[in-house]
Amino acid sequence: MAKRGPTYTCQNCGAVYHRWQGKCDACGTWSSLSEEAQAAPVPGARGSSGKARGRVFALESLKGDTQDAPRIVSRIGELDRVTGGGFVPGSVLLIGGDPGIGKSTLLMQACAALALSGRRVVYVSGEESTGQVRLRAERMGLADAPVDLASETNVEDIIATLGQGTRPALVVIDSIQTMWSGEVESAPGTVTQVRGSAQALIRYAKTSGACLILVGHVTKDGQIAGPRVVEHMVDAVLSFEGEGAHAFRILRGQKNRFGATDEIGVFEMTGKGLSEVGNPSALFLAGRDQAAPGAAVFAGVEGTRPVLVEIQALVAPTSLGTPRRAVVGWENSRLAMVLAVLETHGGLRLGQHDVYLNVAGGLRVNEPAADLAVAAALVSSLTGAILPPESVYFGEIALSGAIRPVSVAAARLREASKLGFEAALMPSGGADAGDGGGLNLKRFGHVTELVADIAARAPRRDVK
């Protein structure tokens, strides 16, 4: 083993140094190193002396009868969808999200639902007193649910307590950053402590077969605070997102060993906890101003579910030397690319214009398929041409200006048709459009065709 003595651990990424330095070489964060005693060897893992002989175990073949993981269904449909059909016994889930977004609320609702179905559920809060947790449950009308409650932060105590009585089906630890283990010589909240506590709790889940949910705090840039290593140790990472100003929240799967990732669950925060949103497209399109230029409806897909959202663009002459580009809900670099393609191949002049782009309703779109809708919104705003309100857009734009086909076109079209849209503007290639959902399909092969189509509707001609 390396020499003993203090080590310096980056509180952002977990990199370890033997000397203090101002900047972490691994992740580039400044002033993130803090002194920590070296982690004790994992208790129970023999061999730290190098002498102990390993135990011989039997190897198995790949073929064998393993049943599908049984599931504990919470009956909160949007939550079960993201977990891949319910919680898996013995698995560990990490839920991250901004403070106040509703993590504790969601988990209390899940706990109450499972407890009411007759399973033993334990909710351990390291942040709030049992009184506070009880108040929240009362507010949601769940005070009668037989959830076992505790306000504790010591991991050994928690594991000892969980060993008493019947094995719980679900254990919630809110939050992992507040936990500390007596076997780790570091202050609570440090990376080493978080990692040590998580390891002990995960070992408990794997050996007992209880499903464990860890709540994790999120840093300003949206990473789960503390060690990224916790993300590697767990079976699934879910993030709970939402814009402060909007009432709805999105639970998104980022990693899931037992289900599809990129699946989303949509909730609305009400006075009585979170309620499920069964038809997110209707929610995202509510309050749409159809008579204004600069708005295009994007037919997107989140996980397995088609979701329609409005993309809004504002292109206005700039008063600054360097025009401003601001994006909410989409990638900055992707906008820069679409702008460059529109300038080079579409003949637009955007160098003297500020560009603002917004995905209405607070959803974060990650799909390149949104390119076409973004381009349409930008051209519409620049030219003042109002896009046909009953149309949806989807398609990826290549650097050459070609519009490329995207996956699951049929599902996108079906959703658009279900919500009363009449036309879809989409790539010319690609075969899986199905019957087109009864929509009038207008296909484009290159951005020049899109620009010409929109410019033809313009009241004045800015496009040269």
Where do contacts with ligand TYD occur on this chain (CB under 6 A)? 97, 99-105, 136, 139-140, 269, 271-273
Provide the minimum distance between the beta carbon of 1 and ligand TYD in the complex, in angstroms, as a whole number.
39
Closer by beta carbon to ligand TYD, 271 or else 287: 271
Could you tell me which stretch among 98-106, 189-197, 363-371, 418-426 binds Mg ion (CB under 5 A)? 98-106
Provide the minimum distance between the beta carbon of 65 and ligand TYD in the complex, in angstroms, as a whole number.
41
Cα separation, 187 vs 123, in Å, equals 24
Nearest-CB residue for Mg ion: 104
Under rule CB under 5 A, residue 197 binds Mg ion: no
Provide the minimum distance between the beta carbon of 151 and Mg ion in the complex, in angstroms, as a whole number.
12
Give the x-and-dash track for 48-87 against Mg ion (CB under 5 A): ----------------------------------------
Provide the minimum distance between the beta carbon of 128 and ligand TYD in the complex, in angstroms, as a whole number.
8
Cα separation, 402 vs 181, in Å, equals 57
Report residue 242 as tokens.
Answer: 């939402």
457 binds, among Mg ion, ligand TYD, none (CB under 5 to 8 A by kind): none
Closer by beta carbon to ligand TYD, 100 or else 434: 100
Provide the minimum distance between the beta carbon of 251 and ligand TYD in the complex, in angstroms, as a whole number.
12
Closer by beta carbon to ligand TYD, 64 or else 271: 271
Closer by beta carbon to ligand TYD, 101 or else 409: 101
Provide the minimum distance between the beta carbon of 236 and ligand TYD in the complex, in angstroms, as a whole number.
18
Could you tell me which stretch among 16-24, 102-110, 162-170, 236-244 binds Mg ion (CB under 5 A)? 102-110
Provide the minimum distance between the beta carbon of 456 and ligand TYD in the complex, in angstroms, as a whole number.
47
Question: In the set 74, 104, 177, 391, which binds Mg ion (CB under 5 A)?
Answer: 104
Interface with Mg ion (CB under 5 A), residue total 1
User: What residue ranges bind Mg ion (CB under 5 A)?
Assistant: 104
